[in-house]
Amino acid sequence: MARSGDGTGVRADMSPSGFGPTSTTDDVLQGVDLAGRFYLVTGASGGLGLETSRALAAHGARVVMAARNRDKNEAAAEAIRRLHPDADLELLDIDLGSLESVREAASQFLDSGSKLDGIVANAGIMATPFELSVDGFESQFAVDHLGHFLLLDVLLPRLAESGAARVVVVSSAGHRMGDVDFHDLNFERRDYDPFVAYGAAKTCNVLHAVGIDQRWSERGVRGFAVHPGGIHTELGRYMTPDVIGSLLSRMDGSSGFRWKSIPEGAATQVWALTSPLLNGVGGVYCEDCNVSPVLGTDVETVDGPGVAARAVDPRRADELWSLSERLVSRAD
C-alpha cells in the first residue's frame, strides 16, 4: 500500500483529483476514451452496477454485466442501449451466494477467450436477517466477500495478461460498524447483529483489495477499495424502521451527511477503475473520487471520511486471504 509519511494513505506526490462528493460518473469520465478496454461489473442489473456499466460503455468500453437475475439484467442492458445504441455489452449469469454458480460463471468467461482490463466487484447485500448461504456461510460474508474472492481468484491471471489492470472492490464506511471475526464467521458464538455482520463483510472487502495489491501488483494488477457514499438503491431493501434506527445511532451527525444520487455514488468506483492519478498506486481506500486517509484510531461511527486502520492492515489481509482460500477449497 502506498503511503506518505503522515499516515494518510496518500502518496506525497499525488495531488487531489479535482472531483468530490457531487461529481458524477460522466464528470470523472469527461474526455476519456475507453475504446479497446474490457471490464466486468458484478451486480450490473441495477443501482450502482447499472450506472457503472452505462458510464463505461458510453465511453467506448466493452462491459460484461454480471448479475443473478437474467431477465432483470437483460432489461438493464436494453436501458443502456436506449441511451447509447452502440454500447458493447455482454451478459453473465452469476449468483455470488453460490460458489458453484461463481465457478460456472468464471469458467464461462475464461472459455470466451476475452481479454480483461478491470473488474468492479460491486454486488452486495446489506443488513440482512440472519441466513446461511447454500455453502453454509453467513449470507453477507458469502455474497459480499467470499463469492467475489472466488471469482477474482479465478480471473486474476486473465487480468494480469493485460499488463495494467485494476480491481475495484466496493466496500462502505459501514466497515467501521463491525470487524471480521476470523474464528466466528457464522455468529455461532455471538448474537447476530445485521450491521456488525455488514461491517465485517465490508471490512473483508477492504482487506481483499489490499491482498490483491500485495500479491498481484508486480504483475500489473492493482487493487482498490471504495466507499460510494449513502445512496438510495435496492441495497436497502431490508431497512426496516428498527434497522434504520440502528444505523442512525451509529452516525455522530458532525459530518454534514447527504444522500448521493446513483451517478454520484458510482463515480468513485469509475474513477478508481480509470483515473491516471492512480497509476502506480494500489491497496488504498477511496471515497468522493479521492484517496481517503487512514484513521489513527478505529471508530464505529459511519459518517465522516477515512478508513479504519484495521481494514488496511497487510497482516490481516494475509490472514483473510489464507482463510478465504481454505473456505472456497472446502466448498469445492
Q: Which pLDDT tens digit goes with each residue over 207-243?
A: 999 999 999 999 999 999 999 998 875 655 555 555 5
- Residue 259 C-alpha cell reads as 444522500
List the catalytic residues: 171, 198, 202
Q: Identify the CA nearest to 159 among candidates 116, 119, 102.
A: 116
- Mean residue pLDDT across the chain: 90
166 vs 120: CA distance, rounded Å: 8
Question: Is 226:124 a contact under the CB 8 Å cutoff?
Answer: no
Q: What percent of the chain has pLDDT over 70?
A: 86
- The pLDDT confidence band at residue 252, using thresholds 50, 70 and 90, is low
Strand order in the sheet with 62-67: 88-93, 62-67, 38-42, 118-121, 165-170, 221-227, 284-287, 290-291
Q: In this model, does residue 67 exceed pLDDT 90?
A: yes
pLDDT of residue 235: 57
In this structure, the strands spanning 38-42 and 88-93 are unpaired
* 47-51, 121-125, 248-252: the lowest-pLDDT one: 248-252
Q: In this model, does residue 287 exceed pLDDT 50?
A: yes
Q: Identify the CA nearest to 260 among candidates 273, 252, 269.
A: 269
Long-range contacts of 181-186 (CB under 8 A, 24+ apart): 182/319, 182/320, 182/323, 185/137, 185/138, 185/141, 186/132, 186/136, 186/137, 186/138, 186/141
195 vs 152: CA distance, rounded Å: 25
Per-residue pLDDT tens for 166-184? Answer: 999 999 999 999 999 999 9
By the 10 Å C-beta count (0-12 exposed, 13-18 middle, 19+ buried), 332 is classed as: exposed
Domains of the chain: 25-330 (3.40.50.720)
pTM over 0.85: yes
pLDDT of residue 10: 41
251 vs 272: CA distance, rounded Å: 26
pLDDT of residue 54: 98
- Residue 169 C-alpha cell reads as 472492490
